[in-house]
A and B are shown apart, each in its own frame.
Chain A
Amino acid sequence: MELQLGLPLPTHNFIEKFDLNNDGFDPKDDMVGLKPWNCEDGYLGNKRSFEVAFGKNIKGGSQELPLLSWSGQPNDEDDWKGEKKISCSINMNDVEENQVVGWPPIKSWRKKMFHHQHQGVHVVNRNYRMVAGNHENGAGSNTRYVKVKMEGVAITRKIDLRHYNSYQTLTNSLTSKFAKCQNLEKDAAHFTLTYQDRDGDWLIAGDVPWQTFTESVQRLEIVRNAG
């Protein structure tokens, strides 16, 4: 699919109606209480860079973007001439490890669905990334290993439940793990995932919310469906 540049990039047409000479705003008057420009601190003029806003140190060497300038617009010499800004790129690993309050702007209960995702490797989705293992994530350990046995298979495996965020991701992963080394059919419809909870009872996985499940599961077993 080709992207075409549709509208011509806006030029002086946009500025004609708005006479900047008369708007009377002097940038110097605006700087009440603001720190002076200092890119080393991470301040881009008046604007805090992303890293400074969230207390991250800019990991060096990633300032590759060209200088932005306002040139080419008539009537704007008063305000923008000579103002150059340096844009620093965001180091993506930094952003991952530090969660910005309220970003991305999705409702809290949606975010709870992602609760388990940021602690390990994603198995679903083609965009999975290796995330650094040493996350501070509040109380609790970072791993949740349980044994998984499959009916008819001699070897018991061990998996870290923190790597999954839903029953579907768990069953998909288990299916591919066991099918690989056992030459079994990949069709998950013939198997049922069961688990032993804290009380020692064996239950079918999927009846309780995912989070409740991960808190109470002790071990897993994949059984063949009867018939």
Chain B
Amino acid sequence: MNYFPDEVLEHIFDFVTSQRDRNSVSQVCKPWYKIESSSRQKVFVGNCYAISPERVIERFPGLKSITLKGKPHFADFNLVPPDWGGFVYPWIEAFARNNLGLEELKLKRMIISDECLELISRSFANFKSLVLVSCEGFSTDGLAAIASNCSFLRELDLQENDVEDHRGHWLSCFPDTCTSLVSLNFACLKGDVNLAALERLVARSPNLRSLRLNHAVPLDILQKILMRAPHLVDLGVGSYVHDPDSETYNKLVTALQKCKSVRSLSGFLEAAPQCLSAFHLICPNLTSLNLSYAPGIHGTELRKLIRHCRKLQRLWILDCIGDEGLEVVASTCKDLQEIRVFPSDPFVGNAAVTEVGLVALSSGCPKLHSILYFCQQMTNAALITVAKNRPNFTRFRLCILDPTKPDAVTNQPLDEGFGAIVHSCKGLRRLSMSGRLTDKVFLYIGMYAEQLEMISIAFAGDTDKGMQYLLNGCKKLRKLEIRDCPFGNAALLMDVGKYETMRSLWMSSCNVTLGGCKSLAKKMPMLNVEIINETDQMDISADDRQKAEKMFLYRTLAGRRKDAPEFVWTL
């Protein structure tokens, strides 16, 4: 390989697409580093504060596509105050200033303003794809800028964002010359949209394959849209409170019959039973179904629908499907790979699924490897059975609504059950646990979870040992997030070098003190150790023995961040 000219090497590297593999390639030798870096087009930055935009641009001048993640994961659950950070503007501004030919931008948990959206739309002539997941800070005006100015836009995908809605005119901003759309998802928008503009847009987008509407698109418009876009592969529908009149129903059925390519279905904030039954037509071909936004759909309707979905690989559903419904899933969906069962009621005692549903899934679905399961109760016996049935789990997230509830039958902690999971599932990469858990479960995890990369812990453990077992044992750990556990400074400071091998550590409502955090920050200059201080009493010179209520630390090449708000101290 040493004798090949650079162009040949570059061509070979083109076949190496995953970021991890390209990182490995770049570490072989200096010439490979140079070639790989200059030719890499797609970059993933898991923590926007780990590196500066300038440095990324310097290393990857050919950058066309970037993914950036901002806030810590627990921000999803309101544990991080707003304005904590995660602003994308400096990145866009740097890209624009350096004339980067940016084409794709994907953001998760970041703050993006309308000004920033406008800057994007004006700075990058070939901009093709904008994907925003769990972001905020913008309004439909920013979307209007993107629609107006990005002539070659292929993808506008808004997932679960908090968008200020100034009503529907942004859709009309797509010029008549814009015919390149492949994917349009505005399901998270709360307001009305211009329905006529939407219909026209769909009519002039022959490449449209993914369309997710919001609640404001009524059934008769949906039916017209489907008639214009029979090649859709991914469909997200609106909200249908009333059953349609027979004429609309028949038209809907006709339209759905033409949609032979739909493989993914979502939406349904409300779904009257007869309306839902029209969709049974496309169920046999579905590989992905998301009904998790519809608390009003009865279990019986859900079960009826599922029975038609024999090819399902991914299912997101609410727990009102019940254990019975999960048994239907287990017997019907033999190709199922991922399932998420969300609570329709966040209160203890009201979840409609138990360990019975989980065991049924593990037994009936041989390809199941990823699960998120909110339930009322769990038992060690069930978890042990699940571990035996399904050693192929890669992601296992269990949330018992009462977070310290022990085994529902024996009243023992759930240590043995989760121990069995990590022992059996040798490829487990992500784990979340709940229920009564002692230090013992961490001993098991440290011993057996060799591939574990991310773990979320809440209300678990008894002493520092718990966290120590974890840090000692899990060699591939990248993200650790802990809340309400009795882990203190001894655990935090046991192996400070470990944190440089990880992306980040979050600890809230634990026993670490300000002193412990300061000590860590002093020993490890390559880490940003941030304390989020939400009370007035504490200040930086406060007693070091005071507990640090929220600490977030991450490795970084960029030094302390300059945009930290008042309530965030970098030690």
Interface residues of A (CB under 8 A from B): 1, 3-7, 9-10, 14-15, 17-18, 25, 27, 29-30, 32-34, 44-50, 53, 65-66, 68, 70, 79, 85, 87, 90, 92, 95-96, 99-111, 113-114, 117-118, 122, 124-129, 165-169, 171-172, 188-189, 192-193, 204-207, 209-210, 225
Contact = CB atoms under 8 A, between A and B. Distances in A.
Contact of A206 (B241, B352, B406, B468): B241
Contact of A225 (B245, B349, B403): B245
Given A90-B402, A167-B270, A106 B346 contact: yes
B447 A101 contact: no
Central interface residue in A3, A79, A108, by most chain B CB within 10 Å? A3
A150 B484 CA distance: 52
A188 B424 CA distance: 50
Interface in B378-418: 379-382, 384-385, 387-389, 399, 401-406, 411-413, 416
8 contacts: A3-B379, A32-B490, A32-B511, A46-B462, A111-B346, A125-B299, A168-B297, A206-B239
Given A1-B360, A85-B462, A172-B296, A106 B347 contact: no
A8 to B, nearest CB: 9
B170 interface: no
Given A48-B484, A90-B348, A30 B464 contact: yes
B332 interface: no
Given A106-B343, A113-B293, A168-B296, A30 B399 contact: no
B77 A106 contact: yes
B298 interface: yes
B455 interface: no
B194 interface: no
A45 B293 CA distance: 41
B488 A34 contact: yes
Interface in B342-360: 342-352, 355-356, 359-360
Contact of A103 (B245, B458, B461): B458
B381 A5 contact: yes
B325 to A, nearest CB: 12
B465 to A, nearest CB: 6
Interface string B76-95: 11110000000000000000
Contact of B462 (A6, A14, A47, A107): A47
B54 interface: no
B242 A53 contact: no
Given A27-B463, A47-B462, A127-B352, A3 B271 contact: no
Contacts of A172: 296, 298
B459 interface: yes
Central interface residue in B346, B359, B447, by most chain A CB within 10 Å? B346
Q: Which 9 A-B pairs have the closest CB atoms?
A: A168-B296, A6-B388, A206-B241, A102-B77, A46-B486, A167-B241, A166-B296, A30-B464, A47-B486
Contact of B403 (A103, A118, A189): A103
Contact of A30 (B74, B245, B413, B490): B490
Contacts of A85: 438, 462
Given A14-B444, A105-B77, A30 B346 contact: no
A85 B412 CA distance: 11
A98 to B, nearest CB: 11
B545 interface: yes
B193 to A, nearest CB: 13
Binding site secondary structure of chain B: loop
Contacts of A118: 346-347
Given A104-B343, A168-B271, 7 more contacts: A4-B385, A10-B420, A18-B447, A34-B488, A53-B509, A166-B269, A168-B270
Interface string B288-322: 00001111111100000000000000000000101
Nearest to B516: A32
A92 B402 contact: yes
B443 A1 contact: no
A7 B241 contact: no
A106 B342 contact: yes
B488 A25 contact: no
Interface in B80-120: none
Contact of B320 (A3, A90, A111, A124): A124
B343 A14 contact: no
B503 interface: no
Contacts of A204: 242
A68 to B, nearest CB: 7
B367 interface: no
A101 B78 CA distance: 7
B10 interface: no
Given A27-B463, A32-B490, A87 B79 contact: no
A102 B382 CA distance: 27
B411 A87 contact: yes
B239 A53 contact: no
B463 A46 contact: yes
A82 B162 CA distance: 52
Interface in B467-481: 468
B346 A50 contact: no
Central interface residue in B296, B374, B411, B513, by most chain A CB within 10 Å? B296
A122 to B, nearest CB: 7
B385 A107 contact: no
Contact of A33 (B79, B423, B511): B511
Contact of A90 (B77, B405, B463, B513): B405
A79 B439 CA distance: 11
A66 B409 CA distance: 12
A25 B464 contact: yes
A127 B295 CA distance: 13
B27 interface: no
A104 B424 CA distance: 27
B320 A125 contact: yes
B243 interface: yes
Contacts of A167: 239, 241, 270, 296
Nearest to A122: B345
B451 interface: no
A7 B78 contact: no
Nearest to B246: A189
Nearest to B404: A50
Contacts of B245: 225
B483 interface: yes
Contacts of B77: 101-103, 105-108
A182 B293 CA distance: 33
B52 interface: no
B419 interface: yes
Contact of B406 (A4, A10, A87, A171): A87
Contacts of B76: 105, 107-108
Contacts of A45: 462-463, 486
B160 interface: yes
Interface in B533-571: 545, 547
Nearest to A44: B462
